[in-house]
Amino acid sequence: MEKVVGKGRLSIPRQKMPEQDPGKRIHNFDEVNLGFTAELAVQEALRCLQCRKPVCIDGCPVQIKIRDFIALVAKGDFLGAAKTIKEDNMLPAICGRVCPQEEQCEATCIIGKKGEPVAIGRLERFVADYERERVGLSVPAIKAKNGKRVAIVGSGPAGLSCAGDLAQKGYEVTVFEALHELGGVLTYGIPEFRLPKAIVKQEIENLAKLGVEFVADAVIGNTDTIDELLNDGYSAVFIGTGAGLPWFMEIPGENLIGVYSANEFLTRVNLMKAYRFPEYDQPIIDVKGKNVAVIGGGNTAMDAVRVSKRLGAKNAYIIYRRSEKEMPARIEEVHHAKEEGIEFIMLTAPVEFIGDENGWLKAARCIKMQLGEPDASGRRRPVPMPGSEYLMDLDVAIIAIGNGSNPLISQTTPDLQISKRGTIVVDENTGATSKPGVFAGGDIVTGGATVILAMGAGRRAARGIDEYIRGKRLPQDE
Amino acid sequence: MHKILHAQYLAPDIKLFRICAPKIAAKRKAGQFVIVRVTQKGERIPLTIADSDMAEGSVTIIVQGIGKTTKQLNQLNSGDSIMDIVGPLGKPSEIHYYGTVVVIGGGVGTAIAYPTAVALKKAGNHVISIVGARSKELVILESEMRITSDELHITTDDGSYGTRGFVTDLLGNLLNNGRKIDLVLAIGPIPMMKRVADVTRPFNIKTVVSLNPVMVDGTGMCGGCRAIVDNKTVFVCVDGPEFDAHKVNYDVLAKRNRAYLLHEKTSLELFLQQHEDAFRQGMIEECKLPHAQRY
């Protein structure tokens, strides 16, 4: 391999990841990004300065040894690189795809100060895919079983990372999932074209190889309560149930047929495979040739609007009340959406949905906004412009403005401290809740956030649970 | 996979199943439901738990074959299995001593009303049950309802059994005759529940209905089952399924339940084409049972 030294590194441009052509991909659910080839990966890895003090790691919620794994990629030791990543992140094929790297590791990358940062996410993805495709996923070493059992509630990113870490530490872990398929938001929420379900399945199978037991169709709070789990031989319980209670806008006409929450729309498509109706039984309103608007500016909104395009929508809109600059979605997702012909209607909000006599959505009355003073979120507050209302023809509207907290566990666990927003209150370092032996992390604690933050919380809680069970630190001692 | 321990037609197209689900059997309370998925490519459908047997570890569901999924389910027999059953979901019925309660079951709604009637009886209430059906052969759970009721009235639309007319006619008679009624529970088709609410409203009697909207996950995650109660949006799966009958917006509920009518038709037609012979035979054998031999 050619050795590149000193300034030579800086002359290599950031390598582009091959992707499916937009004209083709709007007709299928296959993955948009195709991943680096080995050559592209090595070229990209050579751009890394191998900083003595790698600040990229500070940007990573789970502190992957980024510099070290990139050095191994540059040497062509892709399996070694995979091993290095997995010391800190059990699910790199997933994180390499869905992490907002531009706000995390890549945001702190030194070369990014002057030019474009090293494409850390793309490298992570390449390494994970390489390992999986060439040799299969490696099963990390696990400590001898210690005979202690831990229950994990929810098989999304928080639960999976917590389960993986605890299994490695020698615990007998059972993961409970309310739906019939495992993976939580990775399965029902994020579409196939952004995160292939086969990858999620393999990562979960790999955890099963570590000895993690998975129980689907178990709604904790109903099927078993937290107290019943604790009385049933589990030394600790981790709650990672996500933010499962979609918000609506509370405007007239919101219960018309054709108004979906993003959760419902995406669940019908991703989990229930409604796009393959009638081969699969679950239906979804046919959007072929119709006007679809997604209300919201986050990643979920981008997922929903791009799904509707793939289902054949004639016009697929994003309606967002602030400007594009304030949109919380990843830049890459916005970029991909635009390439696919999604129309962005900014500084606009629906104030009413209008239906026909049979209760089907026909139009939305929208109002224009302008940006005022910054609000509590630090973003400029959208202010309605009087007299700017107009009608927009619409067949399907998908509300993607976030989630509240699901009440099933808090209702049946009265001694669990809940915030005013309905989220579970925890100690930030350990994930410990107000109830001894019960830990929590992910969206049920933070409100809607990202996959990697949930994974980070799952890992912290795994350490917290380990310390709690080994008696080093009890929540009541604090 | 969950094994079907027992399956038996109660009436044409209405079949009872006892399904192995020990956890749900132990936990379920009157008024709660399960979500069932019959096959790997199947949809998720909510079904109210009619009964359970803790010793056997089974829950009882009673299914009316209307669309593809319910007809497909009704094709199954003892020893067969279904893909998934999850629950118990929803809030249990509010069971207290009210005094005199009227429990109304319309059609297969009787199967949903039955467990709550049992619980209300156990709580010491005087239970008057009204079971309505289109005709004699569609009356289900008559003997069970008789055992759990102090008074049982049966109405059929065509007069082939019991009193000719609607459940609301009987309820109206009771009220107009000055019977003191403290609670009415009505479960059945939406127009029936709406009419019951209209009948009891002037008498200011607490009236409860159980809603059965389109549902996906059943845990509050998708919001597909939303309904309007007291001018506010509720999620039936976690806020219900039982609500104050006088405050439900039945019009919105009925409209939303028709969202997938075309899909349901397509699915059913395909299914019937593929399974015509087996389906017809299964139906004929089971449903020729004389009434007394049914469950």
Whether the per-residue pLDDT at B290 is higher than 50: the answer is: no
- Within this chain, do residues B64 and B175 fall inside the same structural domain, yes or no? no
B285 Cβ contact partners less than 8 Å away, ≥ 6 residues apart: none
Within this chain, do residues B56 and B120 fall inside the same structural domain, yes or no? no
Note the pLDDT tens digit of each residue in B249-270. Answer: 999 999 999 999 999 999 999 9
* Residue B69 in domain: yes
- Residue A229 pLDDT exceeds 90: yes
Whether residue A291 has pLDDT greater than 90: yes
Other C-beta atoms lying within 10 Å of the C-beta of residue B35: 25
The candidate with the shortest Cα–Cα distance to B150, out of B129, B132, B131, is B129
Mean pLDDT of A299-313: 96
Strands B100-106 and B126-133: parallel
Can you give the pLDDT at residue A472? 54
Q: Is pLDDT of B210 > 90? A: yes
pLDDT at residue B89 greater than cutoff 50: yes
- Residues B79 and B128 grouped into a single domain: no
Q: Which residues of A touch B222 (CB under 8 A)?
A: 246, 261, 263-264, 267
CB of A179 less than 8 A from some CB of B? yes
Summarize the confidence of residues A298-309 as an average pLDDT: 96
Q: Are residues B77 and B108 both part of a single domain?
A: no
- Measure the CA–CA gap between B61 and B102, rounded to whole angstroms: 23
* pLDDT, mean over chain B: 91
Distance CA A97, CA A197 (A): 12
Closest chain A residue to the Cα of B257, Cα to Cα? A257
Window 232-251 of B: residues touching A by CB (8 A cutoff) are 233, 235, 238
- Per-residue confidence band for B293, with pLDDT thresholds at 50, 70 and 90: very low
Residue B258: list chain A partners with CB under 8 A: 257, 358-359
B92's CB contacts (< 8 A; 6+ apart) are B29, B30, B31, B32
pLDDT higher than threshold 80 for residue B280: no
**Chain A residues with beta carbon closer than 8 angstroms to that of B226:** 248, 255
Q: Is residue B83 part of a domain?
A: yes
Among residues B263, B28, B244, the alpha carbon closest in space to that of A286 is found at B263
Residues B77 and B114 in one domain: no
User: Could you give the C-alpha distances from B179 to A136, B97, B174, B205, B208, in angstroms and in order?
Assistant: 74, 17, 6, 12, 18
Q: Are A322 and A371 in contact (CB under 8 A)?
A: yes
Band of pLDDT at residue A449, cut at 50, 70 and 90: confident
Pairwise CB contact (< 8 Å): B222 & A218: no
Residues B109, B84 share a domain: no
Give residue A144's pLDDT.
84
CA distance B232 to A342: 33
Task: Give residue A460's pLDDT.
Answer: 92
Domain boundary among B60, B89, B118: B89
In a domain, B106, yes or no: yes
pLDDT at position A89 is: 84
Answer whether residue A476 shows pLDDT above 70.
no
Would you state the pLDDT for residue A405? 84
Residue A257 near chain B (CB below 8 Å): yes
Residues B140 and B253 in one domain: yes
Report percent pLDDT > 90 for chain A.
78
Annotate B1-42 with DSSP letters as a single string: -EEEEEEEEEETTEEEEEEE-HHHHHH--TT-EEEEE-STTP
pLDDT band per the 50, 70, 90 thresholds, residue B26: very high
Q: According to the model, what pLDDT value does residue B278 have? A: 63
Whether B173 has its CB under 8 Å from any CB of chain A: the answer is: no
- The beta-carbon contacts of B63-68 under 8 Å, at least 24 apart in sequence, are B63/B14, B63/B15, B63/B16, B63/B17, B63/B108, B64/B13, B64/B14, B64/B107, B64/B108, B65/B13, B65/B14, B65/B15, B66/B13, B67/B264, B67/B267, B67/B268, B68/A281, B68/B264, B68/B267, B68/B268, B68/B270, B68/B271
Reference A236, options A462, A476, A472, A473; nearest CA is A462
> Which tens digit of pLDDT belongs to each residue from A138-152?
777 788 888 999 999
Q: In the predicted model, is pLDDT for residue A464 greater than 90?
A: yes
Residue B207 lies in domain: 100-257
Q: Which residue of B89, B252, B270 is in closest CB contact with A278? A: B270
**Contact B267/A at CB under 8 A:** yes
Q: Answer whether residue B267 is part of any domain.
A: no
* Residues B161, B68 share a domain: no
The CA distance from A404 to A411, in Å, is 14
Domains: count for chain B: 2
Q: What is the pTM of this model?
A: 0.92
Say yes or no: B29 and B152 in one domain: no
> Would you tell me the crossing angle of helices A78-86 and A120-134 to the nearest 10 degrees?
110
Q: Is the pLDDT of residue A362 over 90?
A: yes
B275 in any annotated domain = no
CA distance to A27, A239, B9, B78, per residue, from B75 (Å): 37, 39, 10, 10
A281:B258 CB<8 A: no
Cα nearest neighbour of B217 on chain A: A179
Cβ count within 10 A of residue B214: 19
CATH of the domain at B187: 3.40.50.80
B92 touches chain A (CB under 8 A): no
CATH number of the structural domain spanning residue B67: 2.40.30.10
Residue B82 belongs to a domain: yes
Beta strand segments in B45-197, E: 45-48, 51-53, 58-64, 81-82, 84-89, 100-106, 126-133, 151-156, 163-164, 183-187
Q: Is the dihedral of CA A343, A347, A353, A356 positive or negative?
A: negative
Q: What percent of chain B has pLDDT over 90?
A: 88
Is residue B38 located within the same domain as residue B141? no
* Residue that terminates a domain, selected from B54, B89, B124: B89
Among all residues of chain A, which has the CA nearest to that of B85?
A: A217
Instruction: Decide if the complex's ipTM is over 0.90.
Output: yes
Mark whether B132 and B33 lie in a shared domain.
no
Mean pLDDT on A410-421 = 90
User: Rounded to an integer, what distance in angstroms lies between the CA atom of residue B183 and that of residue B179?
Assistant: 12
Nearest to A207 by CA among A242, A181, A183: A183
Q: Is residue B281, in this structure, part of any structural domain at all?
A: no
- Nearest CA-CA partner of B81 in B42, B25, B111, B26: B42
Q: Is residue B280 part of a domain?
A: no
Q: How confident is residue A90, by pLDDT bands cut at 50, 70 and 90?
A: confident
Nearest CB to B87 within list A222, A283, A358 = A222
Last residue of a domain, one of B62, B89, B116: B89
Q: Are residues B55 and B145 in the same domain?
A: no
For residue A438 the two structure tokens come to 């019960």
User: What is the rounded average pLDDT of the residues B134-152?
Assistant: 93
